[in-house]
Amino acid sequence: MMTSVKSGKQEKGGSSNRHFWLDIGLVVFLVVIFLIPFALIIAVSGPEPYHIVAGNPVKNAAQAVGITINSENDTQWNVPGAMGGKRFVLSDSQGNIVTIETQAFDSAESRDAMINTYNSNKIGKGKPVGDLIIVGQHLIYITPANNPLIKEISQELKKYRSI
């Protein structure tokens, strides 16, 4: 610690040192305040555990809600681990139409790799506009994203998710 003598009084030169540590403490505090919410979101909202869902959850959910299945076709996504799925065109009594594709995956790793690939693209640059829902071994892609049918069928699909 530095001391100096001015007009017979002794002063301590640690004032700038104290400000330095206060600044460091403030920066650490702000970083922690911004990181805690992200850590909580990551901890609370983990990925859907991989589990086998019997049957086709979209078909079962549509029938349970009373949505009409206009067409149903087999589909195969060209990605590793994809085991095949269905493409549905659904409609309700108000005339809302939605296209839903499902794809089953052979493992959690291949399913999660597809989710990461989907999320890494920007809309318009390889990422189509739609909603991706995870139910067990299935990825369910719904388009268009703002269709009222999504809310109806999503509520029913939640019953197939693991707790």
- The CATH number linked to 113 is 3.30.200
Quick one: 109 and 65 in the same domain? yes
Question: Do 86 and 19 sit in the same domain of this protein?
Answer: no
Strand order through the sheet with 97-105: 68-75, 82-91, 97-105, 138-143, 131-135
DSSP 129: S
**Residue 133 within a domain:** yes
Residue 111 lies in a domain: yes
- pLDDT (tens digit per residue) in 49-78: 666 777 788 888 888 888 889 999 999 998
Do 40 and 92 fall within a single domain?
no
**Position 49 in a domain:** no
pLDDT at 70: 92
pLDDT given at position 101: 92
- The confidence score (pLDDT) of residue 162 equals 56
What stretches in the chain show pLDDT beneath 70?
1-15, 38, 40-51, 123-128, 161-163
What pLDDT does 163 receive?
43
Measure the CA–CA gap between 77 and 132, rounded to whole angstroms: 14
Let me know whether 70 and 135 are in one domain.
Answer: yes
Question: In the prediction, which pLDDT does 74 show?
Answer: 94
Domain of 148 in residue numbering reads as 57-160
Same domain, 70 and 27: no
The reply to whether 90 and 123 lie within a common domain is yes
Clarify whether residues 82 and 125 are in a common domain.
yes
Do 146 and 77 sit in the same domain of this protein?
yes
Within a domain: 129: yes
> Does 88 map to a domain?
yes
Which runs of E-coded beta strand occur in 7-109? 9-12, 68-75, 82-91, 97-105
Residue 16 lies in a domain: yes
Alpha carbon 138 to chain centroid, angstroms: 15
pLDDT of the residue at 41: 65
The answer to whether the CB of 98 falls within 8 A of the CB of 150 is yes
- What is the tally of structural domains in the chain? 2
